[in-house]
A = this chain, B = another copy of it.
Amino acid sequence: MKDLSTSDAQGERRSGRIGIGLALDAVHFKILDVLRSHGRLSMAALAERVGVSRANAYTRVEALRADGVISGFSARVDYSRVGLEICALIFVTVRQELWKQFRAALAQMPEVEYCAVTTGEHDAMIQIRVADVAAVHRVVTDKLSNIPAVRATETVIVLDEVLRRPYVLPPASQGAEPLPVPAPGTPGASQFGMTRFIRAADGRPGLRGDADQED
């Protein structure tokens, strides 16, 4: 079997975001829907579930992968079975001028599962997985606080994980609409309501920077 788990196993499509096209139809979404929870399903079984031929399923999955819609495959690990009982969220205030440093430091912290730059009171939210609450404290005081870019932190402990979907799909996948291809700049109407948008801070990195995944 070829390694389907990496984005560019073959030499083609090296140049990043070339074929930004690939119009997704209902079958594509069905495939994504099945594959996000059953990532290791055989092509035959996938084809049967989706209602197309084996070869068709294969071609489509390959196209999705080559086009970057599917960026890889992951085993889902039960954290409690692996000694990582504690999950915590750390809200960080960052010195904007040291942003790059902050990124680099985070990449070297294996306990960080996720980090997002946000609007609102804080600048970023970090999610970590560790063995016990003492380790949370260690991460915050020993590691994060020693990053010059970190001005302040506020930590909350996750008591229960109510919901955790492998991946979310757009409502089009349930309805019939073919979804008009995520064109480079679909603006969408702008209303904000009670949303906390851009706070008084400058030098924020743009939306969609280089969210480097290690795959």
Chain A interface residues toward B at CB < 8 A:
1, 3-6, 24, 32, 35-42, 45, 67-85, 87-89, 103, 106-107, 110-121, 124-125, 128-129, 131-137, 140-141, 153-172, 174, 179, 182, 186-197, 204-209, 211-215
Contacts and interface: CB of A to CB of B under 8 A. Distances in A.
Nearest to A170: B83
Contacts of A174: 110
A188 B138 CA distance: 13
Contact of A205 (B24, B132, B159, B193): B159
A164 B213 contact: yes
A4 to B, nearest CB: 4
B75 A36 contact: yes
Contacts of A209: 160, 162
A39 B208 contact: no
Contacts of A113: 164-165, 167-168
Q: Which 10 residue pairs of A and B lie closest in terms of their CB atoms, listed nearest first?
A: A132-B188, A39-B73, A120-B156, A5-B38, A35-B75, A1-B42, A74-B166, A40-B73, A117-B160, A115-B163
Number of copies: 2
Contacts of A168: 79, 84, 110-113, 128-129
Contact of A38 (B3, B68, B84, B164): B3
Contacts of A160: 116-117, 205-209, 211
B40 A133 contact: no
Given A82-B69, A179-B83, A192-B133, A162 B124 contact: yes
A99 B147 CA distance: 38
Contact of A182 (B40, B85, B88): B85
